Amino acid sequence: MAGKSFLRIGGINKEAGLNRNYHLDSSAAIREDLNIELRIENLLKPYKNGVKALDNVSLTIPAGIYELLGPNGAAKSTRMRKLLPILVALVLLAGLGIPAGAQDASKIVDQYIKAAGGAKVISKIQTLAIEGTFTSAPDGMAGTFTFDAKLPNRYYSELIADDKSWIEAYNGKSAWHENGAGEVTTFLGQESSQLEAAGQYYNVRLLNLKKNKLALSLVGHAQVRGKDTWQIEVTAANGMRRNVYFDAATHLIVEERAAIGGIEEAMLYRDYRTVEGVKLPYQIELRRGDATYQIAVTRAQVNGVIEERVFYFPEKSLVQLPDLKALFKKIDENQKAIHKIKENYAGTRTEEETEYDGSGKVKKVETSQFTFFYMDGEEVSTLVQKDGKPLSEEEQKKENETTKKRIEELQRRETKKEAKEEKDEEQGKEAKNDSNPGIEVFLRACRFVNPRRERFRGQEVLVFDFEPNPEFKPEKLEEKVVQKLAGVMWIDEKALNVARLQAYFVGDMKIAGGLLANVQKGTNLVFEQTFINNEVWLPTYEEAHVGVRVLLLKGVRVDQMTRYSDYKKFNVQTLESIGKPK
């Protein structure tokens, strides 16, 4: 018999833990009289989350155990050449824990829905309440746990121990939390979006993914408490992500990971029991930051009564709303004075626009930088950079010319307006207010709840939630837009200005019956200002997550973030260089 050869498969784990090299010894060349020894040495299979499915696994299958039998000329060598790549592939698939014909994310979710009770039963869930007791490690603290979810997007999680409460909640308009010291605060930015996404996830329950704008991505296999699981990344409509782990055998969820209120949180589930036809866990391990809570569920209820006030701010944090009609009127009247002050400032505006394809993957990202100043209440901007690169001399010249034309247009408009006002005054006519709609439109189109006082950017502000007023009948476009909004408003009562506005569309907003555009439900925006030189609030940040269908064409999803910086005080009348005001 000829000398023995072997096939060696070796796993090399580099720093990232993601690269693998497989080696085929030169002595493994196939000859007609060859017996092949299969040897696997130090095979590694790590996942991005740090789990090692395989850790330095070695295996040797001695030569002579597997042979093809047959007379000379029976094509044994040819068959071995064809079978060897298949054999190697099967070994790799088995060793890496990835079964042939791996499932896609939607199929795994479908299996979960079926195992959890079926789409028909799950779709009828309006509310879910879970109550239990907990002990925490390492301090041994004991207390009670409460979790409430209510359609369409309400979320409430509470831990209470020794008269202290830790609460995270989303009421459909604002996200808030209470810490162990009893301080209640409205979440902003990412923290707010995380609670909003949690409210959507725990109420949608992975049903009707397209309708609810949930995107799935299969990460791969992972081990959770010794169980083989499928790991899927779920992206909410607002872009927030969470990882969900499905038991490969039972198809039920065994773990969820996401940031909640700015803190990484993991929920591990076991001891599933059937409640009203739905499988629910009765043992929960909550890992939040550095703390771990072992929760024993004592009561789980489907479609019980959960009042809206559960998700509202605690009574102790609420204040009496002032006369909003009088306040909003003062704010609108104050805008003219603010416009004059704003005309003394110039700054830089940076925009980042991200467009997504139908599957939720990034299609393109564009950045633009502008210099700007204010004139007659309008922001006059000049593009100076595109995707991080300054414009060429010729491009900048064109942009400057465009800006000059914009200035001339505003000057003509202001001259025409002043002439009309003088004429109306001479004829004794009452002057019409043709200015842009102000905050007063919110007073007509919305209802206001949960008033409270907080500090924002170092200033005392009045904060309240708003929602559509069903009794109001909008006529103008701006009224129709505002009546589709719900959210939170921060008002500086002393400076008489809106410090921050956070809002989202509660339903589709059709323009011209949807022929021109249809702004989709869930589209949300943030507008934020800061108090400059102790005299005026100026924009610092704008954010928009927009889903829109234009001219009956295919819809697009775009995220846009705008940052304002480098504010400098100057006089617009002395401005000579429009491109780069100093």
Whether 513 shows a pLDDT value over 50: the answer reads: yes
Mean pLDDT of 420-448: 74
pTM here is 0.67
CATH number where 135 lies? 2.50.20.10
- Percentage of residues in the chain having pLDDT higher than 70: 76
- Taking Cα atoms as reference points, which of 37, 41, 38 lies closest to residue 11? 41
Q: What angle do CA 466, 467, 473 make, to 5 degrees?
A: 125
| 164 and 206 within one domain | yes
Same domain, yes or no: 268 and 172:
yes
420 lies in some domain: no
The tokens 């020894």 sit on which residue? 37
According to DSSP, the β-strands at 446-456 and 459-468 are: antiparallel
Domain count, the chain: 3
Find the domain containing 80 and state its range: 5-95
79 and 218: one domain?
no
| 53 pLDDT higher than 70 | no
Note every long-range contact of 62-65, with CB atoms under 8 Å and residues 24 or more positions apart, other chains counting: 62/37, 63/4, 63/5, 63/6, 63/35, 63/36, 63/37, 64/35
Domain finish residue from 277, 298, 315 = 315
Distance of CA 471 to the CA centre of its chain: 32
**Residue linked to tokens 């002990």:** 135
pLDDT in tens, 210-252: 888 899 999 999 999 999 999 999 999 888 999 999 999 999 9
Answer whether residue 81 shows pLDDT above 60. no
Secondary structure letter of residue 318 according to DSSP: B
Please tell me whether residues 68 and 125 are part of one structural domain: no
The CB density around residue 574, as the number of other CB atoms within 10 Å, is 7
In a domain, 400, yes or no: no
Q: Which of 56-70, 235-249, 445-459, 518-532 has the highest mean pLDDT?
A: 235-249
Task: Give the list of residues 6+ apart from residue 243 with CB closer than 8 angstroms, or none.
Answer: 49, 219, 231, 232, 233, 234, 256, 257, 258
CB 291 within 8 A of CB 265: no
Report which secondary-structure segment, H or E, holds 473.
none
Measured distance CA(582)–CA(579) in Å, rounded: 10
Q: Which has more pLDDT, 94 or 192?
A: 192
Let me know whether 115 and 145 are in one domain. Answer: yes
Shared domain check, 326 and 311: no
pLDDT digits (tens, 9 = 90+) for 451-488: 998 888 777 889 999 999 989 888 888 888 899 999 99
- For residues 557 and 356, the answer to whether their CB atoms sit within 8 Å is yes
Q: Are residues 190 and 210 in the same domain?
A: yes
Q: Is residue 425 part of a domain?
A: no
pLDDT, position 426? 76
Whether residue 138 has pLDDT greater than 80: no
- Residues 487 and 504: their CA atoms lie apart, in Å, by 6
- The number of helix segments (H) and strand segments (E) in the chain equals 8, 29
Q: What is the mean pLDDT of residues 256-272?
A: 95
What is the mean predicted confidence (pLDDT) over 560-578?
Answer: 72
- Rounded to the nearest integer, the mean pLDDT of the chain is 81
Say how many C-beta atoms besides its own lie within 10 A of residue 514's C-beta: 14
- Shared domain for 79 and 117, answered yes or no, is no
Q: Indicate if 234 and 161 belong to the same structural domain.
A: yes
Distance, in Å, from the CA atom of 582 to the CA atom of 575, rounded to the nearest integer, reads 8
pLDDT in tens, 360-382: 778 899 999 999 999 887 899 99
Above 90 in pLDDT, residue 10? no
Q: Do 63 and 128 sit in the same domain of this protein?
A: no
Residue 411 falls inside a structural domain: no
Residues 210, 115 share a domain: yes
Residue where the block lists tokens 């909004």: 485
Residues 70 and 109 in one domain: no
Between CA 177 and CA 184, with CA 182 as vertex, the angle to 5 degrees is 35
Structural domain contains residue 402 = no
pLDDT above 50 for 572: no
Which of 95, 130, 153 terminates a domain? The answer is 95
Domain membership of residue 464 (yes or no) is yes
Of 43, 60, 95, the residue at which a domain comes to its end is: 95
Residues 378-388: what's their mean pLDDT? 93
In a domain, 325, yes or no: yes
- In a domain, residue 537? The reply is yes
Task: Round to whole Å and give the CA distance between 356 and 358.
Answer: 7
155 — phi, psi (to 5°)?
A: -145, 135
Residues in CB range of 128: below 8 A, 6 or more apart: 147, 148, 149, 150, 202, 280, 300, 301, 302
